[in-house]
Every structure is written in C-alpha cells, then in structure tokens.
Amino acid sequence: MSKKKSNKLVIKRVEKLVQEESYYAEKLHNVRYTYHHYSPDVQTFYVWQELDSPQPVEHYMLETLQDKVQEINSRYRIGILYQGDHPSDLEEEDG
C-alpha cells in the first residue's frame, strides 16, 4: 500500500473517531465540534468548534479522542480551531 493511500485511510479513521467522540462530548461537556483537517507538517488533526456550541471546546474535553488518535501513531495530536463571527454578521460601529 502506498504511503499516500495509507494516509488517506488514517485520515478517514480519525474523521470517524472525531464524529464518535463529538457525540459523547456533546452529552458530557455540552460542546459541539467537527473534524476540520490534518496538518502533516505538525502531525496534528484539527477539530472545528461549531458556532452553535453552547460551551467552548477545551483540550481536556478531547483527552479520550487524543488517546485514541495516539494509538494509531504516538506523534499525532489534536488541535482546536475556534470559529469567530462571520464578517457579514458583524455590525459596523458608527465612529
């Protein structure tokens, strides 16, 4: 199996893990997040906090996910991306 195909399989596996763990995180911590992308430069999989997440996603909430990802490769990490307001949603202040 080529390395590129192997990486795609790992990414699909992690996407599934994120989906499963996000379900439990929503029940346990009242947070919502989804898989965003993998950065091979830093060997990190990023999750994206959803705009409608009742609470902010914090790293301790992802410990189980981190452990499962490190079973695949001990160098892999999980990072969090936070969504800000979309520019069109911001109101302009009159100066």
CA distance 45 to 70: 11
| The predicted structure's pLDDT at residue 1 | 65
The pLDDT tens digits for 26-74 are 999 999 999 999 999 999 999 999 999 999 999 999 999 999 999 999 9
CA distance 66 to 58: 12
Write down the domain spans for the chain.
3-84
Per CATH, domain 3-84 is 3.30.70: yes
Can you give the pTM of this predicted structure?
0.81
Q: Which residues contact 70 (CB under 8 A, 6 or more apart)?
A: 76
Own/partner pairs, 87-90, CB within 8 angstroms, 24+ separation: none
State how far Cα 48 lies from the chain centre: 5
